[in-house]
Amino acid sequence: MKNSFEEAIFNIERDRPMSWFLKQKDRLNAVNPDMSKTMVHKRILRKCGGDLEHSIRRRCIEPCSTEDYINAKEDICHRGSYEIKSGLELRNQELTWRVTKE
């Protein structure tokens, strides 16, 4: 169970925020049933990646419920508040914008 949690990294293209978050929460609770909710949330957020983790933390002021974290994550991932793009895609987008602007 612990290995499953350690290997799981959130992928915006593959994973659904709610099911991924709840699965990770269940895994942590199975390994460490005495862990506080705040610590569980912090450990799960670390698995989301730097920018996404930062965006979620900015929206959820602790102490937050699991539902609040999931809602923030879904909002960021699915409603366009946060876009994950590779550096190449961003550079291509900037170049296209510069060409069309002139």
For residue 77, what pLDDT is reported?
Answer: 80
pTM over 0.95? The answer is no
Query: 3-state SS of the chain?
Result: CHHHHHHCCCCCCCCCHHHHHHHHHHHHHHHCCCCCHHHHHHHHHHCCCHHHHHHHHHHCCCCCCHHHHHHHHHHHHHCCCCCCCCHHHHHHHHHHHHHHHC
On the CB side of 67, how many CA atoms lie within 13 Å of its CA? 0
What distance in Å separates the CA atoms of residue 72 and residue 57, rounded to the nearest whole number?
9
Per-residue pLDDT of 24-80, as tens digits, reads: 999 999 998 999 988 998 899 888 887 888 888 888 887 888 888 888 888 888 765
